[in-house]
Structure 1
Amino acid sequence: MVLHVREALRSGAKPEEVREAGWVAVLMCGGPCFAYLKVLEEALDSLAKS
Structure 2
Amino acid sequence: MTQAGADRKRESVIDENLKRVYEEALDEGIPDRFKDLLDQLKQQDAAKESK
Higher gyration radius (CA)? 2
Q: So what's the TM-score if we normalise by structure 1?
A: 0.36
Task: State the structure with bigger RCO (CA 8 A, min sep 6), 1 or 2.
Answer: 1
Q: So what's the TM-score if we normalise by structure 2?
A: 0.36
